[in-house]
Amino acid sequence: MVTPVEMLCRCVIREFFGGVWCCGAKWFCEWRILLCKPFSVLGCGGGEGKNMAEGTVRRRAALALLLASPAISVAFSAHGKTKSRNPYDERRLLQQNKKIQEANRAPDDFPNFIREGFEVKVVTSDNYITRESGLMYEDVKVGTGNSPKDGQQVIFHYVGYNESGRRIDSTYIQGSPAKIRLGNKTLVPGFEEGIRDMKPGGKRRIIIPPELGPPVGPSTFFSAKQFEVFDIELLAVQDCQRRTIAFYSDVVCS
């Protein structure tokens, strides 16, 4: 048998939620009855006491629904933990990166990096090609001849930059090109992949992702895992042979 208190609670809940019947679960009916019982002494059946009880019950019922409903609690919790990228913040981070690169005198058409925590979005022109490894490159000038092979020596100039466009190394400033034999893992993985299919006389800009980048540590130019940009000019490719004289042995490239 439905008591007057239960009838009052049902009316209050139905009115509060705009006619939507929210008492499908037994636990919620019990919550509702519990909230209405203290006001039975005021006369839940009608009059001024009923109005006071209804107002208080509405507020308490809403609070009970928010606190006691697992579905709603999970929904609010999930909403609070969900992080979406705001387009406004992305534009702000892009403009910030551009200003930093401008202050560092980055070269023209330098790629932009939108970094938010450990997530990085690379913004480049349509001329860049992205490989399956994650390496990105743009051929500024295509050379002629054959591409280098393992065991051959490559002679090249390069300029290295970090994400902010700051120059970190340059063979032009050092006054002499670099000479490295391919295939002996002396180059950064991304750098070797980027120069391997170049031809003598060619110029290329490569963007190396962290997974293909150089080691990180105080003894290197790189203090954190980030994208690195290199402008490469391949000057020549030389064949190499091992030479042995008495007890002395070395490799000669020409």
Tell me the pLDDT tens digit for each residue of 168-201. 999 999 999 999 999 888 899 999 999 999 999 9
70 and 135 belong to one structural domain: no
Tell me, yes or no, whether 48 lies in a domain. yes
Q: Total domain count for the chain?
A: 2
**Are residues 198 and 178 in contact, defined by beta-carbon separation less than 8 angstroms?**
no
Contacts of residue 17, defined as CB under 8 A and 6 or more positions apart, other chains included, come to none
Does residue 104 carry a pLDDT above 70? Answer: yes
Average pLDDT, the chain: 76
Neighbours of 147 (CB within 10 A): 17
Does residue 204 carry a pLDDT above 50? Answer: yes
Residues 115-160: pLDDT tens digits? 887 789 999 999 999 999 999 999 999 999 999 999 999 999 999 9
DSSP 146: P
152 and 214 belong to one structural domain: yes
158-161 contacts: CB < 8 A, separation 24 or more? 158/230, 158/231, 158/232, 158/233, 159/230, 159/231, 160/221, 160/228, 160/229, 160/230, 161/106, 161/107, 161/110, 161/228, 161/229, 161/230, 161/231
76 and 139 belong to one structural domain: no
In this prediction, residues 33-55 reach a mean pLDDT of: 45
Length of the chain: 254
145 and 230 belong to one structural domain: yes
Tell me, yes or no, whether 215 lies in a domain. yes
Does residue 27 carry a pLDDT above 90? Answer: no
Tell me, yes or no, whether 112 lies in a domain. no
Distance CA 239, CA 254 (A): 6
Tell me, yes or no, whether 38 lies in a domain. yes
Does residue 22 carry a pLDDT above 60? Answer: no
Orientation of helix 47-68 relative to helix 4-16, angle to 10°: 70
Tell me, yes or no, whether 121 lies in a domain. no
Does residue 6 carry a pLDDT above 80? Answer: no
Give the structural domain span for 21: 4-81
More confident residue, 223 or 104: 104
Q: Is 78 helix (H, G, I), strand (E, B) or coil?
A: helix
64 and 150 belong to one structural domain: no
Neighbours of 99 (CB within 10 A): 11
Distance CA 34, CA 96 (A): 57
Burial class, 215, CB count within 10 angstroms (exposed 0-12 / middle 13-18 / buried 19+)? exposed
Q: Which of 1-10, 17-26, 50-59, 196-205 has the lowest mean pLDDT?
A: 17-26
Tell me, yes or no, whether 90 lies in a domain. no
